[in-house]
Amino acid sequence: MFLFLRYRYQRLYSPEKLNDLLITQSKFKDITQDPCQYHINGDPLGIDDRYIKIKLYCHPGEESFNTLSLDVFKNKPTYTEAIQELSRVNGFPAVFKENNIDSLGTLKNTKDIIWSCYIDQNLSDNLDTVVRNAATIDCFYGVKRFNLEIYGYNGYK
């Protein structure tokens, strides 16, 4: 039995295969095109401030509020990597272009409608920066900063 288990372990195991086993999305999972359909509930307990909040606003009244533990990353991630991880967990495709969101699900940047992200209420033009612990990133689709109030949000710079 010892030799059999040892042989299987040596033949089958590799850290890459383990990682695939852990993070590959299920073929049974419903891959949604709506980034606001699912969310990661609650504030993770016992991790102090090692988390970020990612809030997606797809349309007025259609939102996805998520809290993501930073412990799931080997190194401190960028905001892009954090949103990519969120897209993997919640099961929607995410595309990035020039350090910003190009599309989440079917919600794609066009000439007039774009994703605008605010890190701690400050407009960001570069999501490839390393996240700050306990930061909040709000990403709005379809609006420019001047009419954010249709979401009921004021005070964003």
Q: Which residues bind other proteins (CB under 8 A)?
A: 1-2, 5-6, 8-13, 17-18, 20-29, 38-46, 66-69, 71-72, 85, 88-91
- Looking at the Cβ atoms of 7 and 144, the one nearer to other proteins is 7
- Order of strands, sheet of 51-59, starting from the edge strand that comes earlier in the sequence: 62-69, 51-59, 136-141, 115-119, 122-124
CB of 20 to other proteins, least distance (A): 7
Rounded Cα gap, residues 96 and 90, in angstroms: 17
CB of 23 to other proteins, least distance (A): 7
CB of 39 to other proteins, least distance (A): 7
- Looking at the Cβ atoms of 79 and 100, the one nearer to other proteins is 79
Token readout for 148 is: 């954010």
- Looking at the Cβ atoms of 51 and 140, the one nearer to other proteins is 51
* Dihedral (CA of 109, 134, 32, 58) sign: negative
DSSP 149: G
CB of 22 to other proteins, least distance (A): 5
- Looking at the Cβ atoms of 19 and 147, the one nearer to other proteins is 19
Residues 6+ apart with CB under 8 A from 17: none
